[in-house]
Amino acid sequence: MRTQAKSPSGRIAPRVRPIDRYELRADEAAALRAAADRLVASAPHPGPEPCLDQVVLLGHELPWEIRQRFIDFKIGRSGVGGFVLAGIPLDDAALGPTPLQIPWQSESAELRRVDAILLLLGSLLGDPFSHVGVQEGRLILDICPLHGNEETQLASSSSGGLAWHNEDAYHDFRADWLLLMCLRNPQAAATSFARIRDVPVDARGSDVLFRHEFLISPDSSHSVDANELGLKTISVLSGDRESPFVRIDPAFMSRDLANADAGKALAALIDAFDENLQDVVLEAGEVLVIDNLRAVHGRRPFEARYDGHDRWLRSVNITADLRKSEGCRTGPQGRALLPESVRSGTGRVAGGPAGMRGRVPQSLEPHDAVVHDLVAEH
Ligand SMILES: [Fe+2]
């Protein structure tokens, strides 16, 4: 693997270090693709998503330099925040058309390989999981423009752009890392990206940002929580003051706070992120790996064409510790996180019969009695 000198296009504050990029050598790309094929073949029965049984073991067989890159990124305290892994060969014609609706079903073997690659790379950081209320709990998510969502704050928006945020900032079990793999991007739409370490100390050093004085609501991608849950009180920063974690989603946070100092500190932090965003234009076969606790991301506006060749990414959420959500997950492989509103007994999953609180989509069979009991309680 070698570092590529290529810089992201688009505007970038002069003092902000461009995101690191690594280009796979041909032999590394071939080894990754071969491991993905073995993962696909290892599934006892081909299902709608890859079987997770062999993911970690096969991840151990990836080339040393790939593993080293991901492990250094995982344990490093430098706050590097993200990087781009480039050079994954894709057969564009074999992927099929960019979806026009989500969720959807595909029989493409190339797409199965893409999903396996995402899971193998993710396994070098942690364990994949999903949210029951997002794309029916699927482990691998589609990101592509959808009719009617152009101006929304959803990943399927387009002309309106997507404001920067931490993924699922509202949720206590939000991802530690997020992998976005670009399948096609003919519009050269830019992903916006900024690290908390890019923010000057005077904007992130305020004690008040470490206090639980900030109000956040669920974002609109969650079919239940967005409608059922109210404001939650959080701290925006946590952890080491020299290299803090960040939890922020301005589009779903209140600026009108009882503590005026907290409101000013939040506004200053938001301004500082705005000034330090850089644009990352992903090309087909590139994966953007994001540290969801140390970086924010969004997407610049672009014009969707809905012609089957639109921008198309596949993504997966990765957690550092599955055990912290034990008893709160369901699905065929036990990785679909139940909505907070279900866990707290206030919500109903979209698609469940009216009046049945806490029902999960029919496509997700609860994986053990714990979840049955948890759902039944409510
Ligand atoms: Fe996001």
**Pairing assessment for the beta strands 82-86 and 20-23 based on DSSP bridges:** parallel
User: In total, how many domains does the chain have?
Assistant: 1
The pLDDT-based confidence of 368 (bands split at 50, 70, 90) is very low
pLDDT of residue 328: 94
- Give the pLDDT confidence of 248-292 residue by residue, as tens digits: 999 999 988 999 999 999 999 999 999 999 999 999 999 999 999
Residues in CB range of 345: below 8 A, 6 or more apart:
357, 358, 377, 378
Question: If you measure from the C-alpha of residue 108 to the centroid of ligand 1, how many angstroms do you get, rounded to a whole number?
Answer: 25
Is residue 316 within 8 A of residue 137, CB to CB? The reply is no
Q: What is the mean pLDDT of the chain?
A: 86
pLDDT of residue 347: 55
* SS3 labels along 274-292: HHCCEEEECCCCCEEEEEC
Question: If you measure from the C-alpha of residue 97 to the centroid of ligand 1, how many angstroms do you get, rounded to a whole number?
Answer: 23
- Give the pLDDT confidence of 136-186 residue by residue, as tens digits: 899 999 999 999 999 988 899 999 999 999 999 999 999 999 999 999 999
- Taking residues 367-372, report their average pLDDT: 34
- Give the pLDDT confidence of 47-72 residue by residue, as tens digits: 667 788 899 999 999 999 999 999 99
pLDDT of residue 6: 39
- What crossing angle do the helices spanning 64-75 and 26-42 adopt, rounded to 10°? 80
Question: If you measure from the C-alpha of residue 191 to the centroid of ligand 1, how many angstroms do you get, rounded to a whole number?
Answer: 10
Question: The CATH number of the domain where 214 resides is what?
Answer: 3.60.130.10
Length of the chain: 378
Name the residue with higher pLDDT: 106 or 81.
Answer: 81
pLDDT of 362 strictly over 70: no
- Taking residues 184-199, report their average pLDDT: 96
Question: If you measure from the C-alpha of residue 197 to the centroid of ligand 1, how many angstroms do you get, rounded to a whole number?
Answer: 19
pLDDT of residue 7: 41
Number of H helices, E strands in the chain: 10, 18
Question: If you measure from the C-alpha of residue 27 to the centroid of ligand 1, how many angstroms do you get, rounded to a whole number?
Answer: 32
- pTM tops 0.85, yes or no: yes
Question: If you measure from the C-alpha of residue 299 to the centroid of ligand 1, how many angstroms do you get, rounded to a whole number?
Answer: 9
Residues in CB range of 8: below 8 A, 6 or more apart:
18, 19, 190, 278, 279, 280, 281
pLDDT of 355 strictly over 50: no
Name the residue with higher pLDDT: 193 or 41.
Answer: 193
Identify the CA nearest to 378 among candidates 331, 336, 341, 327: 341
Quickly tell me which residue has 């996180």 as its tokens: 337
pLDDT of residue 365: 43
Q: In whole angstroms, what separates CA 366 from the centre of its chain?
A: 23
Q: Which domain range does residue 370 map to?
A: 2-377
Is residue 143 within 8 A of residue 252, CB to CB? The reply is no
Q: Output b/e per residue, 132-143; b: 16+ Cβ within 10 A.
A: bbbbbbbbbbbb
Identify the CA nearest to 190 among candidates 199, 198, 200, 180: 180
